[in-house]
């Protein structure tokens, strides 16, 4: 039998569902499991919506933004001490906390205060901006910690949809000249749509945190990584690269996101389309992986030794990584063997940044200094394409 307070929360939630036009007149109780810290009802326009694993939950499933931040921090602390998440970086934990990979490890910290189910952030809670007219009013200065919203369109003629603080680089189709200090003559494609991202990514990852976009803070005319990629490709007269995994052809664009996938540098030439370049005085190869393979949509990539799936979805799309992404976060000892004596270079599990694993290391057994953790991807991964 539900108490009167539980019934009140339940009725509020039911009223919101049945008559959304009157949401301003409804008082919603915050469902923070450890108690609400805001002395006022939930404002639906500034709240976070959650879901419950139980159909018998009697809570409102709405939290104040402030209460949700505290709730999320407590779940992150639990995740930090749970299973394989202990080896994740702080960025990885925050990125995966509400995805299946992270939530399966942390759900016990999400017990609802009604004790009948477990709470989870509703990832389908997306605001609609299509009704907002585009004006030429003066842009407001964006706060440094404010994440811009990304509104994607498959229509090449929809030129008015923009990103707050960013440029889509998608003003119709066609060819655009490389914008660089050297005024190169070579041309790259002008992006006309984001179809590849819309097909491969879940709704909650269609944002500049997961997809690199142009930054107009300083005019958007010069970006070191972008110009490094385009200048080197210009020198080799290359405007199309290939995915290392599924071998799909990927056109290179003149603005971020540079490709429908991501670029990275490697010491190995894993495909004939890899471009040899000079980076910080060392010869490297510019390689690419498409968004479908990174997110397991076009190809499944598993370790040949422990069978664990490669986590390509941890990398931002459309940009350049200056290290071999296949060396990052090795899953088993076979991937950390010395290239000379086969001894284990890492004697214990290491929690470090992705780039750390791609650096030169000295084998503790034979003393060889080498990039021991950077292996040709076909020697350590099994690739299954659709």
What is the per-residue pLDDT for 363?
95
Average pLDDT (1-9) is 43
Does a structural domain hold residue 131? Answer: no
pLDDT for 137-171, tens place per residue? 444 455 544 444 555 544 443 333 333 333 333 33
> What secondary structure, in 3-state letters, does 225-244 show?
HHHHHHHHHHHCCCCEEEEC
pLDDT value at residue 125: 60
Name the pLDDT band for 183 (thresholds 50, 70, 90): very low
How many domains does the structure of the chain reveal? 2
pLDDT of amino acid 293: 93
Residue 71 falls within a domain, yes or no?
yes
Of the candidates 228, 295, 234, the residue with the CA atom closest to the CA atom of residue 264: 228
Q: Are residues 228 and 366 in the same domain?
A: yes
pLDDT value, residue 386: 66
Asked whether residue 208 is domain-assigned, the answer is no
Give 27's pLDDT tier (boundaries 50, 70, 90).
low
Look up the domain containing 335 and give its range.
223-385
CA 220 to chain centre: 22
pLDDT single digits (tens) 30-53: 888 888 888 788 877 778 888 988
pLDDT confidence bin for 133, thresholds 50/70/90 = very low
Q: How far apart are CA 382 and CA 374, in angstroms?
A: 16
Mean pLDDT of the chain: 78
Q: Is 209 within a domain?
A: no
Q: Per the domain annotation, does 34 fall within a domain?
A: yes
Judgement on whether residues 246 and 369 belong to the same structural domain of the protein: yes
Domain end (from 121, 136, 155): 121
CA dihedral of 152, 157, 160, 162, whole degrees rounded to 10: 30
Do 110 and 234 belong to one domain? no
Tell whether the model's pLDDT for residue 91 goes beyond 50. yes
Asked whether the predicted pLDDT for residue 319 surpasses 60, the reply is: yes
The string of DSSP codes covering 314-356 is GSPBSSEESS-GGGSS--SGGGGB-TTT--BS-SS-----GGG
Statement to judge: residues 372 and 241 lie in one domain: yes
pLDDT in tens, 228-283: 999 999 999 999 999 999 999 999 999 999 999 999 999 999 888 899 999 989 99
337-348: pLDDT as tens digits: 999 999 999 988
- pTM (predicted TM-score): 0.56
Tell which of 96, 121, 146 closes a domain.
Answer: 121
Per-residue pLDDT, 186 = 61
pLDDT of 134 reads 37
- Residues 114, 227, single domain; the answer is no
Do both 228 and 349 map to the same domain?
A: yes
DSSP string covering 173-191, please? Answer: SSEEE--STT----EEEPP
Q: Per-residue pLDDT averaged across 201-214, rounded?
A: 88
Classify residue 105: in a domain, yes or no: yes
* Residues 260, 372 within the same domain: yes
Q: Are 229 and 90 found together in one domain?
A: no
Last residue of a domain, one of 121, 153, 173: 121
Asked if residue 339 is part of any domain, the answer here is yes
**375 and 236 in one domain?**
yes
Measured from the Cβ of residue 311, the count of other Cβ atoms closer than 10 Å reads 18
- Of these ranges, 3-17, 111-125, 133-147, the one predicted with the greatest mean pLDDT is 111-125
Q: Would you say residue 172 lies in a domain?
A: no
Span of 70-84, 135-149, 346-360 with lowest mean pLDDT: 135-149
């Amino acid at each position: 039998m539900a108490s009167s307070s539980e019934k009140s929360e339940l009725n509020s939630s039911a009223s919101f569902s049945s008559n959304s036009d009157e949401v301003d007149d409804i008082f919603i109780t915050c469902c923070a499991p450890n108690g609400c810290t805001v002395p006022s009802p939930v404002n639906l326009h500034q709240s976070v919506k959650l879901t419950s694993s139980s159909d018998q939950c009697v809570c409102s499933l709405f939290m104040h933004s402030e209460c949700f931040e505290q709730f999320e921090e407590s779940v992150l602390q639990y995740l930090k001490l749970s299973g394989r998440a202990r080896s994740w970086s702080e960025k990885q934990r925050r990125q995966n906390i509400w995805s299946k990979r992270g939530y399966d490890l942390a759900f016990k910290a999400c017990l609802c205060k009604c004790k009948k189910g477990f709470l989870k952030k509703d990832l389908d809670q997306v605001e609609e901006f299509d009704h907002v007219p585009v004006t030429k009013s003066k842009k407001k200065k964006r706060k440094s910690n404010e994440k811009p919203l990304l509104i994607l369109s498959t229509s090449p003629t929809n030129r008015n949809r923009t990103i707050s603080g960013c440029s889509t680089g998608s003003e119709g189709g066609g060819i655009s000249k490389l914008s660089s200090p050297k005024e190169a003559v070579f041309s790259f494609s002008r992006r006309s749509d984001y179809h590849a991202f819309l097909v491969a990514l879940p709704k909650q990852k269609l944002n500049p945190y997961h997809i690199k976009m142009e930054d107009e803070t300083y005019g958007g005319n010069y970006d070191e990584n972008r110009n490094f990629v385009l200048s080197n490709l210009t020198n080799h007269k290359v405007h199309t690269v290939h995915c290392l995994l599924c071998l799909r052809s990927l056109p290179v664009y003149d603005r971020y996101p540079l490709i429908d996938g991501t670029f990275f540098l490697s010491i190995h030439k894993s495909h004939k389309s890899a471009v040899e370049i000079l980076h910080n005085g060392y010869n490297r190869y510019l390689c690419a992986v498409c968004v479908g393979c990174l997110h397991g949509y076009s190809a499944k990539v598993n370790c040949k030794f422990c069978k664990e799936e490669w986590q390509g979805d941890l990398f931002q799309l459309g940009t350049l990584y200056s290290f071999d992404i296949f060396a990052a976060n090795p899953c088993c000892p076979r991937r950390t063997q010395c290239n000379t004596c086969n001894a284990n270079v890492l004697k214990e599990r290491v929690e470090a940044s992705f780039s750390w694993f791609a650096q030169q290391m000295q084998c503790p057994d034979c003393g060889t200094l080498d990039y021991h953790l950077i292996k040709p991807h076909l020697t350590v991964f099994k690739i299954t394409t659709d």
